[in-house]
């Protein structure tokens, strides 16, 4: 693996901390348990806080040095857990995923969290590539991906299965590639 991401990343308005089981209740309430916040995701809405807690136990702080999947809890300035940012590293590439609760949409918080993680990728890791897919109709997330440094790489017709709505949607593949120097 390229390098292990930091367990804590601070921005002007946010703190990203390696997810811990005790974050689960707040994250479930704000994000993972929300039908609206899950609308464009490949995962379903978490039916219980236990599913959120299991994700945090598997990919969070408890296994940070043992895994290639990392999940940070996103906290706002008043220390409220508002969502998650995930980074899955496989060989020479990583996938980035994120989400926050609906009451925090429209404030560029996902963009701020994504920029912070991409800053670590660009300046500290040796990862040559980061990718993700996003529903073509989810314009706010498409803009966020572009703001954090990813570019549209390919249009993928009817390729994204959204579990929450049990439908296939057109998607854009987004990619960031390290430029050889």
Q: Where are the domains of the chain?
A: 8-128
Q: Which distant-in-sequence residues (6+ apart) come within 8 Å of 139 by Cβ? A: none
pLDDT at 40: 64
pLDDT tens-digit map of 60-107: 998 899 889 999 999 999 999 999 999 999 988 999 999 999 899 899
pLDDT at 164: 79
Question: Residue 37 — pLDDT band, cuts 50, 70, 90?
Answer: low
pLDDT at 34: 75
Kindly tell me if the per-residue pLDDT of 15 is higher than 60.
yes
Torsion sign (Cα): 178, 15, 152, 43: positive
Which CATH number applies to 8-128: 3.40.630.30, 3.30.499.10, 3.60.130.10, 3.40.50.720? 3.40.630.30
Q: What is the mean pLDDT of the chain?
A: 91
DSSP 30: I
Nearest Cα neighbor of 158 from 150, 166, 167, 149 is: 167
- pLDDT cut 90: percent of the chain above it: 75
pLDDT tens-digit map of 121-151: 999 999 999 999 999 999 999 999 999 999 9
In angstroms, the CA 65 to CA 20 distance is 14
Which value, to the nearest 10 degrees, does the dihedral of the CA atoms of residues 133, 47, 16, 142 take? Answer: 20
- pLDDT cut 70: percent of the chain above it: 93
Kindly tell me if the per-residue pLDDT of 36 is higher than 60.
yes
């Amino acid at each position: 693996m390229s390098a292990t991401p930091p367990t804590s990343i601070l921005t002007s308005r946010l703190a990203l901390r390696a997810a811990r089981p005790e974050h689960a209740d707040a994250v479930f309430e704000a994000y993972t348990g929300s039908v609206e916040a899950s609308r464009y995701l490949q995962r379903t809405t978490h039916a219980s806080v236990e599913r959120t807690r299991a994700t945090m136990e598997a990919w969070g702080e408890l296994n940070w040095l043992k895994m290639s999947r990392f999940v940070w809890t996103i906290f706002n300035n008043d220390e409220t857990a508002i969502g998650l940012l995930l980074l899955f590293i496989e060989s020479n590439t990583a996938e980035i995923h994120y989400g926050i609760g609906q009451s925090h949409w429209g404030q560029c918080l996902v963009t701020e969290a994504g920029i912070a993680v991409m800053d670590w990728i660009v300046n500290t890791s040796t990862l040559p590539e980061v990718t993700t897919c996003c529903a073509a109709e989810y314009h706010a997330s498409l803009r966020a991906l572009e703001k954090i440094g990813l570019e549209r790489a390919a249009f993928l017709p009817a390729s994204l299965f959204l579990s929450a709505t049990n439908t296939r949607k057109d998607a854009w593949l987004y990619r960031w590639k390290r430029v050889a120097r």
